[in-house]
Amino acid sequence: MLKSTELSNKFEKITKNLKLANKFNFLLMLVFLGSIIVGGFIFSNLLTQKAQEEITNQANSLLQSMNSVRDYTTDEIIPLFENKLQNSTEFIPQTVASFSARKVFDNIRKNERYKDFVYKEATLEPTNVIDKADDFERQIINQFSSNPANTEQSGFRNLPSGKAYYIARRLNFDNPTCLQCHSTPDKAPKSQLAIYGDKNGFGWQLDKTIFAQIIYVPADRILQRANHSWWLVMTIEIGIFAIIILVINLLLRRAVIKPIIRISKLAQAVSTGKASSDFEQKSNDEIGVLAASFNRMKSSLEIAMRLISQKNQ
């Protein structure tokens, strides 16, 4: 209550010497600025949320596609080469789920729309160095490993190509047949060693979190589009408010300011005995009531003046 009174007093001091139209414009500007700030903040949050939902939906759709490729490879491709894989005499990269998923995603990236998207099954000790986790991804894998309940992470990250939104999901090493390629170099197929060497991708243990499935979706364009929409809406809102203020000012000047100015001038003339015409009452609103009140006051004043004149005579 005290703060409200203080604000009221400050407002009165600021507007004390302003004319009625200026006071009204001052109030309109305060309302206008408040509306712009509050509306801009709310709309910015809504646009950011919508942009993030769009990015998340894109990421989830691509992850679902990659998981479908992985499942197809595991369920349909591997059984076709089961004998060769058991003999361990030949290494077939196409039977590796992560290899198939990466190849399919590389084909997706040939589309201009997806060229900046990145799919990676980041691994602590990968067979193919292209899958090696960087420091950021290694941290995610370690968090997955230390917290079994944590199966997914998401957020924003700066990449050389720009700001990206990522979704990372835990992938456990739980397929015993994979140990023939990832336990020790002497058990791995010679064709695998010929392709990838004997230094990488070994020492894996079952039921350990050693890699994470990560999709990176470029966010700059989507966020820029949201920012452009925000500026467009704010510009339209400012234009609408400017038109409203202009129209209100014109109506205010015509319906309030001009009648009050006429009443004020006539009242000043009557007070000095220089006017005999009545105050114009063109409406029944507050201005009309004011004019009628001045007319009654003028009549009372004229009667009083005549009585005084007659008494003096």
How many whole angstroms separate alpha carbon 24 and alpha carbon 245?
A: 10
Of residues 159, 163, 154, the one with CA closest to residue 220 = 163
pTM of model > 0.75: no
Q: Which range has the worst mean pLDDT, 118-122, 135-139, 272-276, 290-294?
A: 272-276
Of residues 39, 51, 49, the one with CA closest to residue 233 = 39
Of residues 203, 219, 98, the one with CA closest to residue 166 = 219
Percent residues over pLDDT 70 in the chain: 72
- pLDDT at position 247 is 87
State how far the alpha carbon of 293 is from the alpha carbons of 123, 144, 270, 279, in Å: 89, 82, 14, 9
What is the tens place of the pLDDT at every residue in 29-75? 888 888 888 888 888 888 888 888 888 888 888 889 988 988 888 78
Q: Which range has the worst mean pLDDT, 70-74, 136-140, 219-223, 273-277?
A: 273-277
Give the start-end residues of each E strand in the chain: 118-123, 152-159, 162-173, 208-218
Query: How far does CA 189 lie from the centroid of its chain?
Result: 51
What distance, in Å, lies between the first and last C-alpha atoms of the chain?
60
- pLDDT at position 58 is 86
Domains in the chain: boundaries = 11-43+227-312, 49-219
Tokens of 18: 């302003």
- pLDDT at position 16 is 61
Task: List residues bridging with 61 in a β-sheet.
Answer: none
Dihedral sign of CA atoms 17, 21, 27, 32 in order: negative
Largest Cα span, the chain: 140
How many whole angstroms separate alpha carbon 120 and alpha carbon 135?
A: 14
